[in-house]
Structure 1
Amino acid sequence: MTADAIVLAGGRASRMGGVDKPAIMIGGRSMLDAALDAVRDCAEVVVVGPHRPELDARFGQVREVPPGSGPVAAIGTGLTALGSTASLVVVLAADMPFLTGDTVHELLRSATESTADAVFAIDASGRPQYLVGVWRRSALVAALTGLDSLVNQPMKAIVPAETVLVELPDIADCDTEEEVRRARESLSSDRASARLDLTEARERIGSGLSTLVAYDAALGEVSGAALAAPIVAAGPLPRFDVSAMDGYAVCGDGPWQLRRDVGFAGGARPAGLLPGEAVRIATGAHVPDGTTSVLRDEFAAVTGDELARLPDRPIRGDVRKSGEDRKIGDLVAPAGTRVTAALRSAAASVEVTTGTVRGPVRARIVMTGDEIRSTGPLQTGQTRDSIGPVLPDLLAGCGLHVTDRVHLRDTAHSFDDMLTDTADFDLLVVVGATGGGAADQLRTALARAEARVLVPRLALRPGGSTVVAELPTGPTILGLPGNPFAAIAVLLALTPAIVAARTGAPLPRKILGPLHNAAAITAPVHRITPARYAPDGGWLGDPTVRTAHLAGLIDRDGLVIVPPNATDGSTVEFIPLPS
């Protein structure tokens, strides 16, 4: 049954000092966004409250008069603003961070299966929530018109006698700062316990990260970027008729009289040929007018000034016609194509040297841990930074531009400034501080920064503590384990997906093939381990690897991702190591 929706997003929030409650961020989204997402399937949605220019145009916006005159007045204003006449009306307050589409669907199902005038949710304490409900429009209209005034009326003034109460999970509002804090902790805990396999993680990254702003640039200066708009040929390819082979431009059937002039690529075009004439010509040279074909050297017999075709040699044209490969306006590369040497060359061949692009992604590397030291003699308890110096090369191999590398001490708020001042990078690669120990501060810093977590953890060994998030200001955070092999393995597994998502390119294609000794490597979760090419194709993986250093990557061709319960010969994903 079709339903409309009224979302109440006003009120004074007196117990929270008058803050804009619907705009409070919990779990990476505002409480208003949670309510709007819950009613996304409704025919028409009206938001009652202060005007919010950031809302999608499909949502109507109105304000009760006078502002802050209570939920009944707000419902009346919203009902008047609805242009649709759906028989059911959903009413939701935008102060419940756990609302979902399932909440609304269950209420609607109960409404269609009963004859009650309204259906309301019951929270965990058994208390009815009259601002989480579905009304029959006729009953709602009758309840509102039965009041002398709608201003400052309690909800009980319009609750009909015939109602149905439905016990639903996660029906809890946030009226105090303490309730907001508990809601954030609850969502953070739930999401922190979720582990995604690499396929799920890449899909979330591909669909969840925002793309960079497009701009025009010289293609030769943006290696690693991706096209934000297609490139089409500005000139034909070839520009004119050219010889495809070293040989002789001829006119008509042979034999031919050979002239003394020669056509060179980039040189002057030979004078036009008359029937029975031929001229020496090089590959790529502009053929003279009158050319009917090019006789390649290996098919030619020259006697003095006479040229003939050798017996039993095939007759071929060997002339590349103007526009044969590309005509003006032909597509060279679609949007999303990475800017590579091949793309730059293909574009230049049709007179295109600039394009509209996104990227390249600018990355800042952050090494964490008081025990890590990059230079100078090691002190007691310190460890040499063995991965920070190699990360720029590995990231460059993934198409990123590394801007700088910094080191953060292990303090409770060491990340806060870095997560706020984000103008100089698009991706923050953090090594360490992703676990649950006393020195692992990244996750709590992301919560303070109201980051949206896409990948809370990985179902992968090693590398399970990985986190991927997006800050409200736009940059991506890739939090890697501090273990050197785990950090590099996850970096190579996820960074291409991040680059693709930020630049608007498609997710990279996987390299798949047989792993001949999979049974010796497989575990209850996906494993990632070094591998080398097998002589007959496929790979041989390392059953064990020391993860505290990168020595296991020496003389290896890449990494393999081994699924649970794999058997010898199982198809696995292979990730080549950058050279």
Structure 2
Amino acid sequence: MHADAVILAGGRASRMGGVDKPAIEIGGRTMLDAALEAVAACDRIVVVGPHRADMAANIVQTQEVPRGGGPVAAIGAALRVLDEGADLIVVVAADIPFIGAEAIAAVAEECRRTGTDAVFAVDESGRSQYLVGAWRRDYLDERVRSLGSLDNLAMKALLPSRMGTIALQGISDCDTESDIARARASVTPGTALELTVARALLRNELSALPSRRRQLRDAIGATLAEPVRSAVALPRFDISAMDGYAVAGPGPWQLRAEVGYAGGERPALLQPGEAVRIATGAHLPDGSTAVLRDEFADVTGGELTRRPQTPVREDIRRAGEDWPTGHELLPAGAAVTPMVASAAASGEIFEALVRGPVRAHVVVTGDEIRSEGPLRQGQTRDSVGPVVSHFLAWCGIDAAGATHLRDTADGFDTLFASAIDCDLIVIVGATGGGAADQLRAALDRAGAKILVERVRCRPGGSQLTAELVDGRTVLGLPGNPFAAISTLLVTAPAIVDGLTARTARPPIVGSLANASACSGPVTRIVPVTRTPDGTWTADVATRTAHLAGLVGRDGLAIVPPAAADGDLIELILFP
């Protein structure tokens, strides 16, 4: 992300007795660590507040004057050490325990897209968070200079007339001890987590897979563990951008007999007034001043002239025009896609240090489940097992094996001991806590660390995610097909981010026309269809016993409680 970051980690914390709020731990990390992880992709990072000896060397530390002088004074102090840099500055307070990289990327992208002077996040309660925002540097510099004294000014003193907002989840701040208690309670084992909190935990708390060097063309779905920098400039030399004629000086030109082809022998030096036939991508001869494209050219005998009224263009791709040698094509944390592998190959880079792709072993549970043959009394057709690998692939996960597990007391113990050639065990069923649901007890016997035990959403409330002692992740899905697949599509990408240390992408959002009709006391996951006017319509009621409710739909919507018609809602799009 081409932006600089300012983390506000000072202040008086007057409502909490003056404690060092950024150092408070929630969910196994400090709130300052959460902010640092969220802005890790920024070019430069400045932390404003008291000096911290354990800060990484690449992070600039400074102090607002006077100490405790408020957020405007802190931003002014940061600008003094960020005298030059990116055209965008993101500002985030270090008292937001569940902020993620996707929120920072979202405000920055929205600021660039709209061209406004600043864009701020709006939290789940509808409150604008002026300390989660992206600013145009030139506006912020000028506005701070114009204020004179910055001591104890409210953030509203900085706000521009041209500003925007974007609704995001997981950005609520902690101003009081009650806020801290609620945040800690949300990550207490055994409690049902809000979906945004659960996904943030998976991204931040799962143990990352070890990195290994791989051919990028064979690592689609993995995540870069190091930046990819071009080994050569592109183009490596001046080449023709069009089919036509390489010419030297003003016309007319005497046409020589040689022809320059892409990958062929380079024509000899052109003298002023000379030209040679040239193909797109061919190495231009020394002395070339332009390429005259075919449609602008006339040839009479051996003389080349420009047709009247045609534009004068160079039509040359200069050496290093796309990027110089050593240019960072992609940062660490980027997903390896076919486009990434192709771009890297253009820079003569064919392998890199990566994590992943994530390999999953799929388990369908239940004595009543039958995949083949006629159904007997009391049996149910397995409609998820045969297709779950395709849904995993949508999430960037490779299905490495499959098991049908009977309802026995030690079935999961055997499974955990045998399914070792994978990074993720995806279990369909056995999460509800019923008489036949043995998963939680088996995880306890295995000494697993439960990260997410239940989630406040429908469907998918009984889902769980745990980490075995050897680092394998277990994702337990509800047994009903719609609940299983919708939970998988919403949760698995966060698991991939956590296992591969991937920088999370900002969520895709859309205006949900009938959001109030499907909003309830907890988050709901519902199928949606795109309408011709670009908005989205949700299915208010969907049966969970099959996937018929997904047929002909364009994706899923994650509808928060108390959503209103027309609200921007996170979408999970189907390919």
Same fold (TM over 0.5): yes
- Aligned amino acid, residue 220 of structure 1: R
* Secondary structure at 2:553 match in 1: coil
Q: Please tell me whether the aligned partners of residues 500 and 508 of structure 1 are also in contact (alpha carbons under 8 angstroms).
A: no
* Secondary structure at 1:191 match in 2: coil
Q: Deviations over 1:166-201 (max 9, x none)?
A: xxxxxxxxxxxxxxxxxxxxx9x9733x11222111
Partner residue in 2 for 1:364: 361
Of 442, 448, 456 in structure 1, the residue corresponding to residue 439 of structure 2 is 442
Of 397, 417, 428 in structure 2, the residue corresponding to residue 431 of structure 1 is 428
Partner residue in 1 for 2:379: 382
Deviation (angstroms), 1:233: 1.1
Q: Please tell me whether the aligned partners of residues 528 and 537 of structure 2 are also in contact (alpha carbons under 8 angstroms).
A: yes
Partner residue in 1 for 2:565: 568
Deviation (angstroms), 1:328: 1.7
Distance change (3 Å), C-alpha of 1:255 and 1:459: same
Q: Which runs of 5+ in 2 are unaligned?
A: 1-25, 31-53, 55-184
* Secondary structure at 2:276 match in 1: strand
Matched, 1:207 2:200: no
Distance change (3 Å), C-alpha of 1:324 and 1:37: closer
The separation in 2 between residues aligned to 1:37 and 1:508, in whole angstroms, is: 21
* Secondary structure at 2:389 match in 1: helix
Of 499, 505, 508 in structure 2, the residue corresponding to residue 508 of structure 1 is 505
Partner residue in 1 for 2:224: 227
Q: Please tell me whether the aligned partners of residues 221 and 396 of structure 2 are also in contact (alpha carbons under 8 angstroms).
A: yes
The separation in 2 between residues aligned to 1:567 and 1:375, in whole angstroms, is: 45
Of 532, 535, 554 in structure 2, the residue corresponding to residue 535 of structure 1 is 532
Deviation (angstroms), 1:37: 10
The separation in 2 between residues aligned to 1:346 and 1:309, in whole angstroms, is: 36
Q: Deviations over 1:355-400 (max 9, x none)?
A: 1111111100000010001112211111110011111111112111
Structural mapping, 1:4-15, within 5 Å:
none
Q: Please tell me whether the aligned partners of residues 496 and 508 of structure 1 are also in contact (alpha carbons under 8 angstroms).
A: no
Q: Please tell me whether the aligned partners of residues 361 and 419 of structure 2 are also in contact (alpha carbons under 8 angstroms).
A: no
The separation in 1 between residues aligned to 2:453 and 2:29, in whole angstroms, is: 21
Partner residue in 1 for 2:213: 216
Q: Please tell me whether the aligned partners of residues 422 and 475 of structure 1 are also in contact (alpha carbons under 8 angstroms).
A: no
Structural mapping, 1:326-475, within 5 Å:
326-475=323-472
The separation in 2 between residues aligned to 1:387 and 1:423, in whole angstroms, is: 23
Structural mapping, 1:46-85, within 5 Å:
none
Q: Deviations over 1:277-307 (max 9, x none)?
A: 1111111111111111111223223333222
The separation in 1 between residues aligned to 2:347 and 2:192, in whole angstroms, is: 48
Q: Please tell me whether the aligned partners of residues 226 and 336 of structure 1 are also in contact (alpha carbons under 8 angstroms).
A: yes
- Aligned amino acid, residue 479 of structure 2: G
The separation in 2 between residues aligned to 1:508 and 1:195, in whole angstroms, is: 25
Deviation (angstroms), 1:223: 1.1
Distance change (3 Å), C-alpha of 1:422 and 1:370: closer
4+ residue runs over 6 A deviation: none
- Aligned length in residues: 396
Alignment root-mean-square deviation, CA: 2.2
Q: Please tell me whether the aligned partners of residues 240 and 278 of structure 2 are also in contact (alpha carbons under 8 angstroms).
A: yes
Structural mapping, 1:107-506, within 5 Å:
191-192=189-190, 194-506=191-503
Q: Deviations over 1:464-493 (max 9, x none)?
A: 000011111101111000010010001000
Partner residue in 2 for 1:553: 550
The separation in 1 between residues aligned to 2:419 and 2:325, in whole angstroms, is: 42
- Aligned amino acid, residue 292 of structure 1: T
* Secondary structure at 1:415 match in 2: helix
* Secondary structure at 1:540 match in 2: strand
Distance change (3 Å), C-alpha of 1:37 and 1:322: closer
The separation in 2 between residues aligned to 1:434 and 1:470, in whole angstroms, is: 15
- Aligned amino acid, residue 449 of structure 1: A
Q: Please tell me whether the aligned partners of residues 189 and 451 of structure 2 are also in contact (alpha carbons under 8 angstroms).
A: no
Deviates more, 1:430-439 or 1:444-453: 444-453
Q: Which runs of 5+ in 1 are unaligned?
A: 1-33, 39-57, 59-186
Q: Please tell me whether the aligned partners of residues 255 and 306 of structure 1 are also in contact (alpha carbons under 8 angstroms).
A: yes
* Secondary structure at 2:202 match in 1: helix
Deviation (angstroms), 1:563: 1.3
Q: Please tell me whether the aligned partners of residues 529 and 555 of structure 2 are also in contact (alpha carbons under 8 angstroms).
A: yes
- Aligned amino acid, residue 257 of structure 1: Q
- Aligned amino acid, residue 461 of structure 2: G
* Secondary structure at 2:269 match in 1: coil
Deviates more, 1:222-231 or 1:426-435: 222-231
* Secondary structure at 1:367 match in 2: strand
Q: Please tell me whether the aligned partners of residues 237 and 283 of structure 2 are also in contact (alpha carbons under 8 angstroms).
A: yes
Normalising by structure 1, we get a TM-score of 0.66
Partner residue in 2 for 1:517: 514
The separation in 1 between residues aligned to 2:399 and 2:228, in whole angstroms, is: 27
* Secondary structure at 1:217 match in 2: strand
Deviates more, 1:201-210 or 1:416-425: 416-425
- Aligned amino acid, residue 189 of structure 2: R
Q: Deviations over 1:327-350 (max 9, x none)?
A: 221111111111111111111111
Deviation (angstroms), 1:227: 0.9
* Secondary structure at 1:556 match in 2: coil
Q: Deviations over 1:482-524 (max 9, x none)?
A: 0100100010001111111111111232001100111221111
The separation in 2 between residues aligned to 1:302 and 1:573, in whole angstroms, is: 60
* Secondary structure at 1:311 match in 2: coil
Of 502, 523, 526 in structure 2, the residue corresponding to residue 526 of structure 1 is 523
Q: Please tell me whether the aligned partners of residues 497 and 508 of structure 1 are also in contact (alpha carbons under 8 angstroms).
A: no
Deviation (angstroms), 1:568: 1.2
Q: Deviations over 1:536-564 (max 9, x none)?
A: 11211111111100011111111111111
* Secondary structure at 2:231 match in 1: coil
* Secondary structure at 2:226 match in 1: coil
Deviation (angstroms), 1:422: 4.9
Q: Deviations over 1:239-290 (max 9, x none)?
A: 2211111121100011111223221112221222111011111111111111
The separation in 2 between residues aligned to 1:190 and 1:557, in whole angstroms, is: 35
